[in-house]
Structure 1
Amino acid sequence: MADPTAQNDPPDPTGRQSGFLTVMTTTDSETKARKLARGAIEGRLAACAQISAPVTSVFRWDDAVEASQEWQVLFKTAEARYEELAAYLLDAHDYDTPEIIATPITRGGAGYLSWVAEETS
């Protein structure tokens, strides 16, 4: 049986898996979103990045309520690559405080998660 604490082991056949994340960020243009996505994939920091059509973000910044159009980038990665992915996003992003939110993948297709493990190792 595979070690459930191992970061890049393929998932078990039941679909239960720890060690994989989705990581989301936003940026203010499609061009910037594509650049962030491409850099992460080229560096094997993520197996896949999906760019969502513009969303409207409403937030407080410098004591004012702001609204802006942003593009979401959702990365699929191994938990073991999170720190490097976050560091890349902080370095490559032009926001002072970029959104970087990681969510654990608690279940997923065994073949897909095996692919994520392979692409991020």
Structure 2
Amino acid sequence: MIPIALLTVLTTTDARAKAEALARGAVEARVAACAQITGPITSVYRWQGAVETAEEWQVVFKTTEAGYPALEAHLLAAHDYDTPEILATPVARVSADYAAWVEQETTPAP
């Protein structure tokens, strides 16, 4: 059996309700199997020439390597930031049952 390549994909947003909407929307669209929300966190970044500090919520999605393009497209369409943070990290190891569940949940319904 060929192992399923999984990714964790994260983004941030400036309100808990927005984080929940991004998480729910991705799971409902089957572009992520699940998502966890943490926050508030403090982000420090340079934007348009100035150093900014903002309170944000981080959303971490679980998807397959094959499903990443659809998740990225979904986040770009749903996110209200001009340039949203969307970072994907390969999962080095995962239990077979969990990987199968992620694949099942990110496969479009017939």
Q: TM-score range by the shorter chain?
A: over 0.9
Work out whether 1:45 is the aligned partner of 2:31: yes
Which string of whole-angstrom CA distances, capped at 9 and with x for unpartnered residues, describes residues 4-39 of structure 1? Answer: xxxxxxx4xxxxxx5110000000000000000000
Q: 3-state DSSP class of the match of 1:95? A: coil
Matched residues in 2 for 1:64 and 1:106: separation?
Answer: 36
RMSD across aligned positions (CA) = 0.9
Work out whether 1:27 is the aligned partner of 2:13: yes
Matched residues in 1 for 2:75 and 2:104: separation?
Answer: 21
Q: CA deviation at 1:106?
A: 1.4
Q: Which amino acid aligns with 1:87?
A: A
TM alignment of 1:60-99, pairs within 5 A: 60-99=46-85
Say which one has the larger Rg: 1
Query: 1 or 2, which has the higher strand percentage?
Result: 2
> TM (normalized to structure 2)?
0.94
Q: Runs ≥4 in structure 1, deviation > 3 angstroms? A: none
Other-structure match for 1:105: 91
Matched residues in 1 for 2:95 and 2:55: separation?
Answer: 33
Other-structure match for 1:15: none
Runs of 5+ unmatched residues, structure 1: 4-10, 12-17
Matched residues in 2 for 1:120 and 1:79: separation?
Answer: 11
Q: How many residues align?
A: 107
> TM (normalized to structure 1)?
0.85
Q: CA deviation at 1:109?
A: 1.4
Q: 3-state DSSP class of the match of 2:44? A: strand
Identical-residue share of aligned pairs (%): 61
Matched residues in 2 for 1:98 and 1:52: separation?
Answer: 17
Runs of 5+ unmatched residues, structure 2: none
Matched residues in 2 for 1:53 and 1:97: separation?
Answer: 20
